[in-house]
Structure 1
Amino acid sequence: MCPIECSAAGPAAKQGISQYSLTQWGHRDGLPSAAIYAIAQTPDGFLWLGTADGLIRFDGIRFFQVPLMGKGDTAFGKVKALAASADGALWVGTETGILVRIDGPAMKSLTLNLPISSIRERPDSLIEVEASNQVFRVSPATMQVTTTCQVRSASALVSAPHPPQSMPLAKVDPTECGLQSAHNIAPSILDRTHLASDQIRSILPDTDGNLWLATRESGVIRVSNTVGEARAEKEQFSVVDGLSSDSVWTLFQDREHNLWIGTQNGLNRLRYDKFATMTRRSGLLSNNMTSLAVVGSKVFAGSAVGLNEITATGAKSVLRESILSLTGGIDGTLFAGTPHGLSVVKDGRSHVVQPGVQVTQITSIAQSSTGELWFYDQHGGLFRWEPGQVAIAVTTPALQSKAVSVIAAGTHGEVWFGLSTGEIVLYNGVTFHQFTAADHLPGGSPHAISADSDGGVWIASERGLARYSGGRFTSWSRKNGLPGSRVLWAVPGPGGRLWLGYNIGVASVTVSDLLHAATDPKSLVPYDFYDDGDGLHSNPDLHGSTPVAVLPDGRIWLTTSEGLATIDPAHIRKNPVAPPVHIVQITVDDANVDVAKAITLPPRTRRIEINYTGLSFTNPRKVTFRYRLLGFDSQWNIESTRRFATYTNLSPGKYRFEVLAANDDGVWSTEPAVLDFTLLPAFYQTKWFIALCLLALLLAILLLVRFRIRSVADGLRLRFEERLDERARVAQDLHDNLLQDVMGISLQLEIADELTPPGAAGKPILSRALQLSESALAQGRGALTTLRATMVSAQDVLQTLKLTATHFTEDRHQAIRYITEGTELPLRAGVGDEIIQIACEALRNALQHTRGRVDVRLSYTPNVFTLHIHDEGPGISQPILESGVPGHFGLTGMRERASRIAATLTIESKRGNGTQIRLTVPGRMAYPDHNASPSIWGRLQARWSGTHRQP
């Protein structure tokens, strides 16, 4: 079979059947049943298979056996007929006579009690079913038979519901009963296939004008429908070509133009590939080709066995001699390096030339645009030769005694040499210039060099790709986004694209993208990649010095690990069909959930796995996906071929999962598949539970604060009890010692005063001393009383303040106004003493620094005792208020005393507006029997303030 043929029928019609890519599925691939009787594709994109063991749905990767009527394990039995109707429903016919209509999750059935052999939809939307020797017309709405009649013939059925008018088949009258019979095939078709009509099970016209025949024992036969076809009478595809069985039951072409073949032993797919291949079966002398060369519009391929010319009908042998290297000359001459030296092939004739030197291992060869031939012999080195003269050994230091791996001619007379050590040498017609890694070469041994139309030169090497332009090199490798760093070859193609050979496939990039990536380190080079999924059945390989050749029309030929491959960059058949995308399954903590119903997931769901599929059957493994979970993902996830998404430990809430798919040529589906689900919260994830937790936390904090306040208060009470004990001891000492001594002094002074005459000079002094001793005695008794007291009354406070005022003039006494507010409560003795000392200090300061009125206010409430002293004096400056007067410690002492009783002391003063002093003592500290129960917030505030002001 020829790899590339000429026909007006379309791209696929130009390609021989042996060059179609075949893929087959059987039991080892998960196919439940190997006998495939019928194939159909519904509008949602799924492929359906009627098998010996029921109905199977296929997405290109996985098979799913469909149960009958949703009854679990109950299968359809043997399914012999399938048809997809325009409304999206699938019609299934079984050997037991059951007709089933499947529309999404719904199924309806009709029992005909006769084995169903074919189904098709009529133009009037009725379903025509052939069962045994009868035809039934069924209404989709009622699932009732409307008409029944006899079949005219049913030995073979047309797989396409609407055959093209150009088909050489008898037309079907839609008003008559019966389906198209193989007996109505044009006699010319039967003559060309050498088959009897009873050997044909079904026929299928494809979209390229070919006619495909499914035979009982001869596999698949393709017949061209082109008028004046010059091709062989028939083209056959059988077990010898890789078909799973020669017993073919059905044929089907999907909307991506893939041909599906159902046989007795599995499912097969024939696909028009982007690459065509040639092997020994196509006429090559060997599958291990070493070199390629183009002469005019001809391609020559050399191997260790000989030389082939690639023709329109295959490969023709030209020379039966080992070919070490090839190059096309400028005058239509082909130069070949052989073990016998240098050979020339022209006009179908070959002969060995005598360059004047002994050469037997010419591994690299090229002819410059000036006519000079450069060749490298592994034993003799590098030579330059002009026809008719003696070859001259190149002795330049840049090339002498160095192994040359590749030689390439430029477009302006220059010649490029790649050295096995990684250097590149340029001969510009006059001098040789050597380039090394310091000139930004990627490094590694060069594999191929080619020039482009812009004057640039591309170097493919072991460690990357390089381009020489404008006197400098630019390099790219895997780090720039290329598929790999080891580049076997690089050749320019049409449309400003560069084609790169790798040992895993072929990449196509735009030169503009390469140049952009060279200037932007963050930019990665986008590329199209072709591998076995595109018809490149064997990997690109490097056996010789010229592994690739480009024809003038842009078609590329390359050597592979098994034969040759070719692609036409200008006529690559793209797949324009966007793949429908479906969500097929959701697994929640290892349990499957029905995606057809509203999904509500239970609380404490840990792991959610969503399985989806994209229905592109041309190259299913290259279908890429991107997805996101609204409510969790902020953007689309990175594109990948993975067909599932996993989420763990999601928070409760409502979510929407969206997924898009792209086919092998990057055509994306327009609408995403959507799955909505709600994840219920556990009781501890509900709002009321969170509110209760917050309330419990708040109560715990309050209890902790309360406990802390009580602890501090208890500590203060113990300290005050200790102070009371100390006061009792001091009072006892004061009574037993100091007061007794003062009383004795006072008696002695009285006696001295009585004995001193009234007119004596010391009489006044003695009288004054007597008064002071009596005053000291009175004050001592007062202090004793105070020390012995366990409570301090308001009267005690006021008397002390009035006694303090006596040290000032009479007019200042009159300026003081004493006010008592609230029901008087006795003050704890120790606390009362501190309050009195603070009040006395504040009153002394007010009387000393003001000439106006002074207000002293005592305020009793159950929760707090307040002392307020206000004067109308000039006020206290801010520096003195903050730091006090140097050498004076009145304000400091007041603050210290307030801190000791857990009280709050506030001093507010402005120049010219007087001073206000407020002492606030918590009731628990001020009163010995504190029993108040007003606002808890007030108590907490007061206690907490007191707690944090402990010394």
Structure 2
Amino acid sequence: MPARRTLNLSNSYKVFPLLLALTLSAKSVKASDPQPSLRDEVLTTWTTEQGLPQNFITSLAQTSDGFVWVGTMNGLVRFDGLHFRGFGQDGPPELQGFIGGLVRDGGDGLWIVTASSFFHYEHHRFVPILFEGRPHYRIDAIARSKDGELWVCFEGRLERTQAGRLVPARLPDGVHRVSDLAIGNDGSLWIADGENIFRMRKDSVVAKYNLRDSRFLYSDRFGDLWAGDGHRLFHFDGNGFTRVNKPGLGNFVSVMVDSHHRLWMASGGLHGLTRKSGDEVETLTQANGLASNDVRTILEDHNGDFWLGTIAGLQRLHQGIFTSYSVTNRVAGQHTQTVSIFEQRDGSIWTGTLEGGVVRWWEGHSHRFDKAQGLSPGQVRGFFEHGAAPAIAIADYGIFEKRGSRFAKMTRIPHGYVSTPVVDGVGSVWFRIEHVGIFRFRNGEVAEFGTKDGLSGKPVSWLGLDPRGDLWVGDAAGMERWNGSRFERGFSTDGPVLCAAWPRDGLAICTFNGLLLRSETNGRQRLLTQKEGLPGNTVLDVMSDDAENLWIVTASAIARIVHEQWKAYAEGRSSRIDPEVFTEADGLKSRYVLPLNGVTAIRAHDGRMWFATIKGPAVIDPHLMATQPAQAVLDSIVVDDQHNLSGDLIIGPGRHRITFAYTAPATVAPEQTHFRYRLVGWDRDWVDAGTSREVSYTGLRPAHYAFQVMATNREGGSSGQPAQVEIQIRPFFWQTKWFLIVVICAAIGIIVEVTRRFTRRRAERLSMRFQERVAERERIAHEIHDTVIQDLIGATLQLELIGFEIADQPGKSKASLATLAGRMRETIARSRNMVSNLHSTAVTQYSLVEVLRHSEAEFRSGPLPVFDLVSQGEPREVQPLIRDEVYRICREALANAFRHAHAEYVTVEVRFLPDMLEVEIADDGNGMTEDLLQHGRTGHFGLRGMHAHAQRIGATLVIESEPEQGTNVILRVKTSSSSLWRRNGRGRFRGNDADAS
């Protein structure tokens, strides 16, 4: 890569601006078309109103990614074609002051010189270059070699960069004060000190040239070396420096040689800018659109555009994909707006103006024909092929043909506004006269056509030919075709037809309400309007190119709709389009076409598209429209108003608002660059962002994400590689995996423990029920064994005795039978009591107090005794086994009080203590003797049974009684969870509390 323009800083920090000339291939243009003049190129201006930090431009550079970097007196900015990005939030403070120079490095970075510092920008970071540990020093000159090595002179010392740091280099003897540096294509280092120019190789001086006052050096891309003192320009011819004769300006601050070998000079004063090509010198000044005649620096970018740094703003000279031509030799007072256009058979282009005659364009040069050549000063409404020069239709003046060196009006043409003449496939000339009708000129005869020939009679708005050369007429209701003998209806519309085109597989009709598209594939017809993406509803002209793309002219724009888009819309496969809209940035001097029912757009035989704009003709070659695909660039990441560089980022825990800012370097039509993005890990698919360059996310959960964004330029070109940045949102400790694992394990442990306890409790309940049944069976077995079986055994023995006595002692046997019958009745009574006891234990829906209250009815046989039942404490349910055993003990005590004690009062007091149940039964009956308390009544098991039941549930039973003093029975049993375990022959049983009621 060739060396770049070097930087010179004087003691007062005045800069010879840095000129970066990039290796470019010349734009492909038609061989017969010369490069447009400076005045024909589009000049665009940006100032502080568009975002520049300061209008005084000190330096310019373009990095390999396509961004243009602008240094000003008040800071550094990066330009993507639409927005200026400053670095106040993510750059060192020195970048907010004077920027002395910008030099692109060997990769995709940039070297930046400030008033007292030196930085290297790479991978979105600004790294200060230290000198002997010092961050601040003043640089006098800087130059970069083609291999990326940078040479720097400061504080009387020469240094060069190596791996991003400065290392010493040898400064030649005799150098007074270095004013500028340059590096030739052969690697030679050139040094200027104001008196001499030194040439060095490998730290040795190989030549010294005396060139007094030359403080400026420049090495162009072709290997030539230039030197100057601000008034004289010298060129190195291999042996020495020779003065350049008439370079363009008498005084200058910088020069540049572009990719076409043209010499550019910036005056830095009052003379503007010059460009010299061969012996021709062009000048551009404030009168031609320069922001200021004081131009300081020039840059040719990757697209071949030229950026101008002035003291009044940043400007760009842009040829664009369109080449526009200006009408010259304008006559004062005439309206020279272009209103119609035509291509002659020889390839020349003819344009008609509003009042200034016609202009023939050939090989980039123009020739005007007007009143002096016999043309009337009216509105030119069309052309048609007619000999050496086309015939010209001029408003109400008629049709003119060229006779010799002058134009003359054709005879037999009816009077009126003659418009849009066309020649059909058989050579007939058709034209219309507004508000009159349609006429045909053939073999010197003029014929008029009307409703008798198949026309609708509605006002005719357009005449044109289809690809086969057939004539079509457009009116307020549709289109009609001439079949050779008459007109026949072809297509119907809702308004006047302004123009029509027949691309492959379809038809496009211009109307005031939009573009009517018809697909020949399925015969479907749809109207495309501004609502569906059309740049304006009034479509004045339409034509197709070799690729069947539609080029349209609306009232406010010139645009292209690619074939796939308009066909998909016509067939109903899509609901909108995204056209390419062309503006002044594309080389148009104007995007407006006068809506005067003329032919304003044509497709030339070489495939180029010509448009008659109000400021002159503009031409574009669709085959040369390919541009560099757009590449998205991540600009910054803002987390909760905290600005971060666009690199991988780790974010702390919490809910955040994360904003991604992105862009794409596009100096042509940047407003039509479209983006799509996705956040991998959050978005399921790509999101179409349109032209928006920012997206925000809120409420992202802790995770690892990758943000990707892709850009597509106006022509649909994309690099296919998304720009990507990875972010990680850290979780709170309770959002981490280990915490989740702990919680899951704890939950599992709790579930297991709850399940275990529930299962154990259920098992205990089932076991208790089983033990209740076992205990009940044992009780029944004991009672049957102690009562029924004993009674039956005694009855059996007595029956055997009676059998012996019947024969010998009949009288005695009769008495024995009576005794046996009495004992059997007692057995039946005891059996009934047992059955009653069994029934009572089955009544589970009643509490202990209710069961005891019901017992009164069971034993009462008269008005006495008086029964009183009292409950103390909060009643609660008692474990079923305990309740049944307590009931049996109390029932036996009540039975004794009611049946045997002959008491007048019987009281029952039930006390519900915190962990104990206490029941006291008292009567004022006969009482019992000590012997009776110890052994019970003969043949009865009541007292023994009561003690057995109490022992079964671990209760304490106290029976207090004296003869004639009544009886007091006190039963105490624990009901807490610590109820005792007891053994009973077959195992261990546990008594549990029931839940509180």
Same fold (TM over 0.5): yes
Aligned to 2:144: 121
For the 8 Å contact 1:138–1:147, the answer to whether it is kept is no
**Displacement of 1:27:** 1.2
Residues of 2 paired with 1:56 and 1:566: CA distance? 34
Distance 1:127 1:11, change over 3 A: farther
Distance 1:675 1:832, change over 3 A: farther
Aligned to 2:55: 34
Match of 1:349 among 390, 399, 406: 406
Counterpart AA for 2:549: R
Match of 2:489 among 434, 437, 446: 434
Residues of 2 paired with 1:221 and 1:675: CA distance? 45
Distance 1:392 1:41, change over 3 A: closer
Distance 1:647 1:108, change over 3 A: same
Residues of 1 paired with 2:294 and 2:75: CA distance? 19
The TM-score normalised by the length of structure 1 is 0.65
Alignment of 1:206-245 (within 5 A): 206-216=258-268, 217-225=270-278, 233-245=280-292
For the 8 Å contact 2:549–2:560, the answer to whether it is kept is yes
For the 8 Å contact 2:479–2:491, the answer to whether it is kept is yes
Name whichever of 79-88 and 473-482 sits farther off.
473-482
Counterpart AA for 1:655: Y
Residues of 2 paired with 1:71 and 1:87: CA distance? 20
For the 8 Å contact 1:364–1:375, the answer to whether it is kept is yes
**Displacement of 1:683:** 4.8
Determine whether 1:293 maps to 2:313.
Answer: no
Aligned to 1:490: 542
Match of 2:528 among 477, 492, 499: 477
User: Any idea what SS the aligned residue of 2:339 has?
Assistant: strand
**Displacement of 1:206:** 1.6
Determine whether 1:447 maps to 2:468.
Answer: no
**Displacement of 1:563:** 2.2
Residues of 1 paired with 2:420 and 2:174: CA distance? 75
User: Any idea what SS the aligned residue of 1:365 has?
Assistant: strand
For the 8 Å contact 1:540–1:558, the answer to whether it is kept is no
Aligned to 1:82: 102
Name whichever of 631-640 and 143-152 sits farther off.
143-152
Residues of 1 paired with 2:27 and 2:109: CA distance? 40
Aligned to 1:405: 461
Aligned to 1:547: 600
Name whichever of 290-299 and 25-34 sits farther off.
290-299
Report Cα offsets for 1:211-245 as digits up to 9, x if no partner: 222123222212225xxx7xxx2222222222211
Mark the runs of 5 or more structure 1 residues left unpaired by the alignment.
715-757, 759-765, 793-823, 834-926, 935-945
Residues of 2 paired with 1:8 and 1:472: CA distance? 40
For the 8 Å contact 1:135–1:148, the answer to whether it is kept is no
Alignment of 1:163-312 (within 5 A): 173-175=199-201, 179=217, 180-182=226-228, 183-185=232-234, 191=245, 194-196=248-250, 199-216=251-268, 217-225=270-278, 233-280=280-327, 286=335, 288-296=337-345, 297-311=347-361, 312=364
Alignment of 1:156-167 (within 5 A): none
Report Cα offsets for 1:644-695 as digits up to 9, x if no partner: 2211110111122223334444443364333222212235534566678776
Distance 1:316 1:244, change over 3 A: same
Determine whether 1:464 maps to 2:487.
Answer: no
Report Cα offsets for 1:281-327 as digits up to 9, x if no partner: 68596354333233322333233313222323235233342125213
Mark the runs of 5 or more structure 2 residues left unpaired by the alignment.
1-25, 189-195, 202-206, 209-215, 218-225, 236-240, 766-809, 811-817, 845-878, 889-973, 982-993
Name whichever of 316-325 and 10-19 sits farther off.
10-19
Distance 1:369 1:589, change over 3 A: same
The TM-score normalised by the length of structure 2 is 0.63
For the 8 Å contact 2:47–2:312, the answer to whether it is kept is yes
User: Any idea what SS the aligned residue of 1:668 has?
Assistant: coil
Residues of 2 paired with 1:825 and 1:125: CA distance? 98
Counterpart AA for 1:50: G
**Displacement of 1:831:** 14
Alignment of 1:404-423 (within 5 A): 404-410=460-466, 412=468, 414-419=470-475, 421-423=476-478
Root mean square deviation, CA, Å: 5.1
Residues of 1 paired with 2:71 and 2:326: CA distance? 36
Report Cα offsets for 1:760-788 as digits up to 9, x if no partner: xxxxxx99999998887565443444456
Match of 2:397 among 340, 346, 350: 340
For the 8 Å contact 2:340–2:382, the answer to whether it is kept is yes
Match of 2:727 among 660, 664, 677: 677
**Displacement of 1:351:** 1.8
**Displacement of 1:148:** 4.8
Largest Rg, 1 or 2? 2
**Displacement of 1:273:** 0.6
Residues of 1 paired with 2:693 and 2:736: CA distance? 34
Counterpart AA for 2:308: I
Alignment of 1:898-937 (within 5 A): none
Aligned to 2:922: none
User: Any idea what SS the aligned residue of 1:243 has?
Assistant: coil
Determine whether 1:588 maps to 2:634.
Answer: no
Aligned to 1:395: 451
Determine whether 1:368 maps to 2:390.
Answer: no
Matched residues, percent identical?
23
User: Any idea what SS the aligned residue of 2:585 has?
Assistant: helix
Aligned to 1:611: 661
Q: How many residues align?
A: 731
User: Any idea what SS the aligned residue of 2:335 has?
Assistant: coil
Match of 2:440 among 359, 363, 384: 384
Residues of 2 paired with 1:785 and 1:647: CA distance? 78
Aligned to 1:138: 160
Report Cα offsets for 1:98-117 as digits up to 9, x if no partner: 55545543111448999756
Structure with greater helix share of residues: 1
Residues of 1 paired with 2:568 and 2:291: CA distance? 48
User: Any idea what SS the aligned residue of 1:142 has?
Assistant: strand
Alignment of 1:748-787 (within 5 A): 779-786=831-838
Report Cα offsets for 1:139-179 as digits up to 9, x if no partner: 44434353256679999998x975999xxxx9995545883
User: Any idea what SS the aligned residue of 1:490 has?
Assistant: strand
Residues of 1 paired with 2:353 and 2:675: CA distance? 43
Distance 1:703 1:642, change over 3 A: same
Residues of 2 paired with 1:6 and 1:114: CA distance? 42
**Displacement of 1:547:** 2.0
**Displacement of 1:34:** 1.4
For the 8 Å contact 1:408–1:417, the answer to whether it is kept is yes
For the 8 Å contact 2:129–2:166, the answer to whether it is kept is no
Report Cα offsets for 1:846-889 as digits up to 9, x if no partner: xxxxxxxxxxxxxxxxxxxxxxxxxxxxxxxxxxxxxxxxxxxx
Counterpart AA for 1:119: I
Name whichever of 20-29 and 767-776 sits farther off.
767-776
**Displacement of 1:246:** 1.0
For the 8 Å contact 1:579–1:615, the answer to whether it is kept is yes
Distance 1:493 1:767, change over 3 A: farther
Match of 1:633 among 675, 683, 700: 683
User: Any idea what SS the aligned residue of 2:287 has?
Assistant: helix
Aligned to 2:651: 601
Distance 1:499 1:664, change over 3 A: closer
User: Any idea what SS the aligned residue of 1:200 has?
Assistant: coil
Counterpart AA for 1:267: L
For the 8 Å contact 2:40–2:326, the answer to whether it is kept is no
User: Any idea what SS the aligned residue of 2:634 has?
Assistant: strand
Counterpart AA for 2:142: I
User: Any idea what SS the aligned residue of 1:396 has?
Assistant: helix
